[in-house]
Structure 1
Amino acid sequence: MSRKRRAPSEAASPAMQSAAQPHVPVMLDEVLAALAPKDGGIYIDGTFGAGGYSRAILSAADCTVWAIDRDPDAIAGAAKLAQDFPGRLHAVQGRFGEMQALLNERGLAQADGIAFDFGVSSMQLDQPERGFSFRFDGPLDMRMGREGPTAADLVNGMEEADLADLIFRYGEERRARPIARAIAAARREAPITRTLALAEIVRRAAGPRAHDGIDPATRTFQALRIAVNDELGEIRRGLVGAEALLQAAGRLAVVSFHSLEDREVKRFLRERAGRTPRGSRHLPQGPAPLHAPSFRTLSPELVKPGKAETDRNPRARSARLRAAERTDAPAWGDTGDAAGED
């Protein structure tokens, strides 16, 4: 292993840890402070993963947690945690974007707090067979729920121009076109089915490693993962579901790891708190908003991890926490809005 200073890369970037490290919930103290668990409360861990937030919430108060994850491996792992808190942890396999329906059909209509930790989990990254990581050789899969099209399907089946747009949009990759061109050339020779093969193609097309140390393959892998799992759509649907499930004074705590995720959360909370005018900023001011604010953002609006945590846990470096409290106004529901401006 190189002895150079490790800058943000896949091994020490948002949502990534070494396989040798135990799972460390990011910004755990800050999330607990935002949720303020209370005895008798009902809480939802919308992104269960390895269960770090669920365990902390259950330990903080004599409460109940409903844990949701689309990954069957995560749900299987919840069984051990449920034994430690008999009758207080309920695990549900499914997408957090469908949490309202999943929980309503199980008799839960309201909650006192909801936590989200977006992105891929360290567990998924550390399993080569899941195909999320370019640190290991594995099938080019990337499906969190093990269903639907894989990353290999996108890489080998999309038109070159569409693939370039995807890499640019979801990976924020400036060299998306030459990368897509290189992928298209390589797949004409043989289908691209392995993670290391794709990573090498991308590295050659992207050029030298950036000064910040980020591996040239990082943004392309991020883009494919987001597309395969419809992660931004899931975030929008999950936030709408959280709005519907939280009772008045219920708390929402959301941890994001990159700008695309955080932009979705920021836009949603600012809009629902009545701080963003409806419609385009380029048009004359329209009529008063149709909805009363359904959230009030907590102060400070954006919380970043402290130096002690980032030194201890490199995964936390890019983490951002936004928290809000539900008002007693009716939920707005799905307004059909796409992501707005920052």
Structure 2
Amino acid sequence: QNASSYDLAFFINKMGRSGFERYIACCSTPEQHDGESITDNAANIDFIYFLLSHGYLSTDYMAYRSVFMPGSLSTEDNNFIRAVTSGRLPDETAKMPLSNIANTVAKLHGLGILMHDNAWHPQILWYLMRNDTNSLKTIMRMQAEVGAERRMVRLANEIFPLWEPAAQREYIRLMVDGDGHLSTMIHQIGRLNDTVAEQNLLPVLLSLPILSWEAVSQITREELQRLIDLQFNLVTSLPENCAQFFCENLRNSGCRLTNIPLARSDSGQETLHLVVQKKLWTYSTLNLQNICFSLSHESENNSDTFRKKPVALIKSLRIPNLEKYVYENISSFIRDVFIHSEENDLIPDFLNSTFVDWDDAKYM
């Protein structure tokens, strides 16, 4: 087998203590120290054998130095640095363990390889976010370059899942900080051609506070709306406690939530309630139904209630803008929902309403 696949400790242990002593006797030239050679000193041999057999000495200078220089680089750190310099794929280097992040970053800087794709380990990027935003900004510009979409996909799908939501939001906040960077981010997400990456990045972006929408063109806003149109779980994918920021971004960008899923979590329901309250959604029968299902306290029976008494269920939610929006779309509501209900006693009210025209009245 290939001997290079084994470390030095493997061979020393295969030799054993007696074999190692014979090797020393055969291969070394005795040097006299007070009349004794090294082979005559069992204590020396025992000590050297212990170091070698336990991996405390290495033929690799970097690893050797790391053992005897506390606080420098561990063997794991050196393995990572060697992998980066040898051109290993980012997918491989990102999974390698690291110990001393600060010194690893310093070494990458010194070797001039920090800006290599395969050096962007999750722990490296996290460290830069806290300690060296200048270097990180350079990396971020490279991640947002046209034609470098794979870098952003890797960030979204492989690195972000390892971080807490707060760290994800801070990273994207830094990426969009500065003139034109918000538009660049929207364009980059639109170019990813990766549904999972889009689903990971868009909720984080739209959960950020104080985004500079004034500098975003109408064309870019329309591009953002198309991205939102493709998201079916956006409202339930947002980080917690970001409902207000999300609604502000929808309002300031002129976009609307196109698809409303069932929201079962407290955070999802809070966000959905605020979206409905501020009329930041697109009306459809399915969206209306999911709003009622999500926000009604009668969760076990709301499907039956929506079918039989939709108007009563809508009123029970006590969201004035929801009722107003239904009346603004009364034709769709009557034809798709109301005529299938059991609320016949409300027909006179609808017929006398200024919202209902003759074409709608014929259905009742």
Please confirm whether the aligned pair reaches a TM-score higher than 0.5, indicating the same fold.
no
Which structure's residues are more often helix, by fraction?
Answer: 2
Which structure's residues are more often strand, by fraction?
Answer: 1
Larger RCO (CA within 8 A; separation ≥ 6): 1
TM (norm. structure 1) is 0.20
Which has the higher Rg, Structure 1 or Structure 2?
Answer: 2
